[in-house]
Structure 1
Amino acid sequence: MPSNRSALVSAHHIRGSDVRCWTYPSVGPSAGVVLAVHGFRGDHHGLQLLVDQLAEYTVVVPDLPGFGASTPMDATPHDAAGYAAVVAELAGELGLGPRTTLLGHSFGSIIAAFHLAAHPGSFGRLVLINPICEPALEGSNALMSRAAAAFYAAGALLPESVGERLLRSRMISDLMSATMTKSTDPAVRAYVKDQHRRYFGRFSGRETLREAFDASINRTVRQVAPAIGAPTLLVAGALDELGSVEGQEELAAEFPAAELRVIDGVGHLIHYERPAAAAGHIRAFLASWAEPAQLTK
């Protein structure tokens, strides 16, 4: 599905990576600027529907190093701290100051939280979609997480050609889509399946994928939430396998200033299945805070 917003594409050399970044100017006067961080194995395409819903905002979406059109980093690990450092350098190059909002989905929620914990005041507001609130190997879906860990371990240990085929398997992608999509709408289910088929195999290599996966299951937003003073919005799915409503409520309580909005009938794919509902919560949250931020570069 083509986006109804045109983008300016820029390249940034950060920590050895050629980071590609898509900037979507607002439709009409800008209500503010949002820097959005995609989730594990995704790229900027995954946030397209949410970008389209936030037309009054200028939205900046990079492909994380090692995913999509961005090459891997040289010596910096592809983990929460490494990606948080990339966010800091990218924001500096784009001139995004403390009036900008930082948004993260899933693994991107960990990256965004780790960045703000390490750089207080660098962004004025924080929005987390499907935040990772519970340790993957200890929560209610530990069995599923352990199966995923075994899958990625096999992909790393098998001979390269075999491991690559396994990790990029369309069958595995389709199984994930069928399992995680909660909507019964055939068009929505077909869209999610197509998105995963198109973009979940766009990683640079097995080592990058392994590092990012390890971080995704060993780090949570809760580990750094108390250190984040920025007003924060959590948007969670009532059926999210990776974070129960109770876990999200406990996470919200860890922040100095956070509010939680739960969307019924959806799990971990809010950005695909319920982007309009998520955008409505984001819009209301941002409207209650500071004046619009502006890109200076």
Structure 2
Amino acid sequence: MPFVSTDTGQVHYEIDGDGPGLVLVHGVGGDAQKVFGNVVDQFSGEHTVVRPNLSGSGRTTDDGAELSLPALVGQVEAATRAAVTGPVDLFGFSLGAAVAAATAATHPGLVRRLILLGGVADMTGPRAGLGFGLWRDLAATDFELFKRFAALQGFSPAVLDGFGHDGLAWSLKTDTWPPGTRRQIDLAARIDIRELLPAIQVPTLVIGLGADQIAPIEQSHLLHSAIPGSRLAEIDGAGHLDWLTDPTPVVKLVQDFLTTDPA
């Protein structure tokens, strides 16, 4: 399993396939396999797919300090440069979208195209503060209760009902969250990348999820309006985590975008 060193520790990443680089960045409570394991095969036939584990996830280790956006950007940069050469396509989900956007803004020569799914640009408002504050309190006092609440927020009603009673109970029982989830929640509650967004000068696809309660669609609108020349696609009725159960619409949007002329 490949690792690369940064100023704060050792970054573990997964690598699959062969071709131009495609880097996939997970969000809060995820890791390289949990978030992207079901879509790697959709891309690895044409790309070298790199999936770094951010601090708190997978086998990545760090100094245990409070997480910062620059530190996570440094992890993505380090894993990318260690795994592939040349500009890469960069795909971030949720908090990972903020990390990916910040990477594109601060390391422009590293990124060829940018995809932001269910992304966040500014989590400093009252509603976001209330939500992440509740996440922190639940995670600190009763993690099983936190998992139930996260599922209720993360999936749309149609997807949750589609699990059925037994399926939902099994999903909650078997679902695992990385040990650094609380640190990732703390960082997510402080995200504000609005000043970085105008510096992004690469072709960008913003994918908003219409029924997203964690990263409301307005966050995707904010990303789109602030990133010069970006495209916006919306998946109506989709919750934040719905695409993990059926990635087909997201995969098609991403594949179509990756095969267009980046000029």
The TM-score normalised by the length of structure 1 is 0.76
Could you tell me how far 1:210 is from its partner in structure 2?
4.6
Match of 2:179 among 191, 203, 226: 203
Q: Does 1:148 align with 2:138?
A: no
In structure 2, the gaps of 5 or more residues are none
Superposed, 1:1-297 pairs within 5 Å as: 9-25=1-17, 30=19, 32-45=20-33, 46-56=35-45, 57-71=47-61, 73-74=62-63, 77-98=66-87, 100-135=88-123, 137-139=125-127, 143-151=130-138, 155=140, 166=142, 169-182=143-156, 183=159, 184-186=161-163, 190=167, 194=171, 197-200=174-177, 202-204=178-180, 209-290=181-262
3-state SS, counterpart of residue 40 of structure 1:
coil
Say whether the 8 Å CA contact 2:14–2:51 is kept in structure 1: yes
Tell me whether 104-113 or 56-65 shows the greater mean CA deviation.
56-65
CA 1:288–1:51: 2 relative to 1, 3 Å? same
Post-superposition offset of 1:124: 0.7
Aligned-residue Cα RMSD (Å) equals: 2.8
TM-score by length of 2: 0.85
Where do 5+ consecutive residues of structure 1 fail to align? 1-8, 156-162, 292-297
Report the equivalent of 1:4.
none
Change (3 A) 1:180 1:241: same
Q: Is the 8 A contact 1:121 1:230 kept in 2?
A: no
Kept after mapping to 2: 8 A contact 1:132/1:242: no
CA distance in 1, matches of 2:163, 2:182: 33
Letter in 1 for 2:68: D
Structure 1 193/83 Cα, relative in aligned 2: closer, same or farther at 3 Å? farther
- Single out whichever of 279-288 and 126-135 deviates more from structure 2: 126-135
Q: Which amino acid is the alignment partner of residue 12 of structure 2?
A: R
Alpha-carbon displacement from aligned partner over 1:65-116 (angstroms, at most 9, x marks no partner): 2212222x22775221110011122222223321x10111101011111112
Contact 2:10–2:60 (Cα < 8 Å) also in 1:
yes
Q: Distance in 1 between matches of 2:169 and 2:225?
A: 32
**Aligned equivalents of 2:173 and 2:93: distance in 1?**
15
User: Residues 15 and 198 (structure 1 numbering): CA distance in 2 closer, same or farther, change over 3 Å?
Assistant: farther
**C-alpha contact (below 8 Å) 2:123/2:188 kept by paired residues:** no
For the 8 Å contact 2:112–2:202, the answer to whether it is kept is yes
Q: Once the 2 structures are TM-superposed, how far is the Cα of residue 20 of structure 1 from its aligned partner?
A: 1.9
The one-letter amino acid paired with 2:228 is: P
